[in-house]
Amino acid sequence: MNSKWVFHIGYATIALIMPGHPSEIISLTAFGSSSLLIIDIFYYLRYKISKKEVKMAILEGDYLKVAKVQEDNEEMLLAKENVVGVGTGHKIKDGKDTGEPSIVVFVSQKIDKALIKPNDLIPETVEKFKTDVIETGEIFAGTEGIEEKKEEEIGVEVLRQRIRPAKGGFSVGHYKITAGTIATCVYDLYPFPGIPPKYYILSNNHVLANSNDAKIGDPILQPGPYDGGSVPKDIIARLSRFVPIKFMKPGYAPCNYVDAAIAEGNFHELDREIYWIGYVKQVNSRPKVGDLVEKTGRTTNFTTGRIIALNATVNVNYGGGRVARFCRQIMTTCMSGPGDSGSLVCDIKEGAVGLLFAGSARVTVINSILYVQSLLHIRLHP
Amino acid sequence: MCSHFYILDFILSFLDKYLSPSVSGAILKNMSIQEVLKEIRYWIDIEGVEAIGEGENCIIVFISAENEEIRKKIPTEYKGYPVKIEVSGIISTQ
């Protein structure tokens, strides 16, 4: 048996998912069953045979048994927090390959056992086979930026925690999604000056309204479901308004201007301060190319970037083959990762510039804050 | 009236042919960059183009990956504005 093949399969679970969409990658770590479905679909599309058939064709002997045990337990292992992939490989001890077939569990970060919830601990053996835990960092579509991401992951836990009153920069999400970020808290545009009738959390449509697939009044969780938020314990607000996203169809490519939504919460549970940035001091209606900007987001924490393009037309992938065209967008150097959607991007004088919603390993895309305020009829400042 | 246009057209094509692009570009820059961006919005339908935007006195075209075919389809200058091509990767929601 050629051990290279074994490792090939060991990494297959991860490597073959990488061309997917980041939101699907999040679902991989969040929901074992859905990730298995993605894997199976991929195998079917790529090889026109099932994943099981691929494994059976390549593996033999003990490796076949390990692969069978892996397959039976994959869902259970992927459901654990921090696990990003499972494979078949060799047990590595003190940095040396022991040659012993084992179930390899890939985690985003190796954490002290004392800090992990009992249910999320990786068992030392699964059905008599030893497990080997390998730290990979978070897995993204493509390979660029993974090392940078690993560094940025340090200390991520703070912004994924439950916090009351809820602040900008922290995890949030519709109960059916994974997690995004709270931009800040806002109020109705009118009456002004006057007594605002309601107060809201601001974030993206795809964070608070599940990319149009939500009903007004749906529960919004803080932290988001991927970060442990659950109904009813962590309901912070109810979906109030969203700007529907118009997806492209053959011969139809309408312009969207914002991916934005608001959810109404209790004033006493909402704080419009943004972690590490502070309070928005103004709305920057005329950002310029070259301006420095900053944001705090649930995944990459506090980051800075530089505006590289204005008035941009961008095609954005929403997963599942859906693409939406956005016009009049602001583009910056890369300053975000999956889960940062919804972050408020400010200039270095705390002037609100826009709402972060998309990106790649090289760039970040932001809705102009003027469009966000206007289309949602909200006010960020004063 | 029509002859005036022919004369203007002749002068512009002369400038284009014999002067450097920046000189002819400066003369041709009678459209704002916003107007130009509207005019070239269809470039985003070129396969591999992810975004088009306004850079610092230039047009920036973001492409998913390095690709000579795309570079051939996009001019280095349009209506007097330099066109820069940047590799952005595929852009997705985050």
The 10s digit of each residue's pLDDT in A174-199 is 999 999 999 999 999 999 999 999 99
> CA-nearest residue of chain B to A329?
B53
What domain count does chain B have?
A: 1
ipTM of the complex: 0.71
Beta bridge partners, A312, equal A329
The Cα–Cα gap between A27 and A24 comes to 5
Burial class (CB within 10 angstroms; exposed 0-12, middle 13-18, buried 19+) of B68: exposed
Partner residue facing A317 (CB), from B86, B88, B92: B92
Partner residue facing A360 (CB), from B45, B53, B92: B92
Beta bridge partners, A239, equal A263
Predicted local confidence at residue A321, as pLDDT: 95
For A116-146, the pLDDT digits (tens) are 767 788 888 888 888 878 654 333 332 233 3
Residue A182, min C-alpha distance to chain B (Å): 13
With tokens 């998309």, the residue in question is A358
- pLDDT range class, residue A374, cuts 50, 70, 90: very high
Predicted local confidence at residue A148, as pLDDT: 46
* Average pLDDT over every residue of B56-74: 95
A280 pLDDT more than 70: yes
**Torsions phi, psi for A61 (to 5 deg):** 60, -140
Q: Residue B54 domain-assigned?
A: yes
- pLDDT range class, residue A1, cuts 50, 70, 90: very low
CB atoms inside a 10 Å sphere around CB A64: 16
Partner residue facing B94 (CB), from A22, A144, A325: A22
Question: Number of C-alpha atoms within 13 angstroms, CB side, residue A203?
Answer: 41
Predicted local confidence at residue A100, as pLDDT: 80
Interface of A with B in 104-163 (CB under 8 A): 141-142, 144
**pTM attached to this predicted model:** 0.64
Chain B contact present for A315, CB below 8 A:
yes
Determine the structural domain holding residue B16 and report its residue range: 4-87
Q: What percent of chain A has pLDDT over 90?
A: 59
Predicted local confidence at residue A116, as pLDDT: 73
Residue A114: alpha-carbon gap to chain centroid: 26
Whether B93 sits inside 8 A of A357 (CB atoms) is yes
Q: Residue B92 domain-assigned?
A: no
- DSSP-H helix ranges across A196-337: 205-208
* Average pLDDT over every residue of A56-61: 49
Q: Residue B37 domain-assigned?
A: yes
Q: Residue B93 domain-assigned?
A: no
A352 pLDDT more than 60: yes
Mutation site, B41, B49, B63, B92, interface A, largest A CB count within 10 A: B92
Q: Residue B40 domain-assigned?
A: yes
Residue A342, min C-alpha distance to chain B (Å): 9
Q: Would you give the DSSP letter of residue B80?
A: T
Q: Which of A18-32, A121-135, A330-344, B18-32 has the lowest mean pLDDT?
A: A18-32
Mutation site, A210, A310, A326, A366, interface B, largest B CB count within 10 A: A310
Whether A309 sits inside 8 A of B55 (CB atoms) is yes
Residue A142: alpha-carbon gap to chain centroid: 15
A305 pLDDT more than 70: yes
Whether A316 sits inside 8 A of B34 (CB atoms) is no
* Average pLDDT over every residue of A8-21: 35
A274 pLDDT more than 90: yes
Q: Residue B80 domain-assigned?
A: yes
Q: Residue B94 domain-assigned?
A: no
For B8-61, the pLDDT digits (tens) are 555 545 544 454 444 445 556 789 999 999 999 999 999 999 999 999 999 999
Q: Residue B70 domain-assigned?
A: yes
Give the residue among A73, A89, A82 at the shortest CA–CA distance from A33: A73
A55 pLDDT more than 60: no
Predicted local confidence at residue B1, as pLDDT: 41
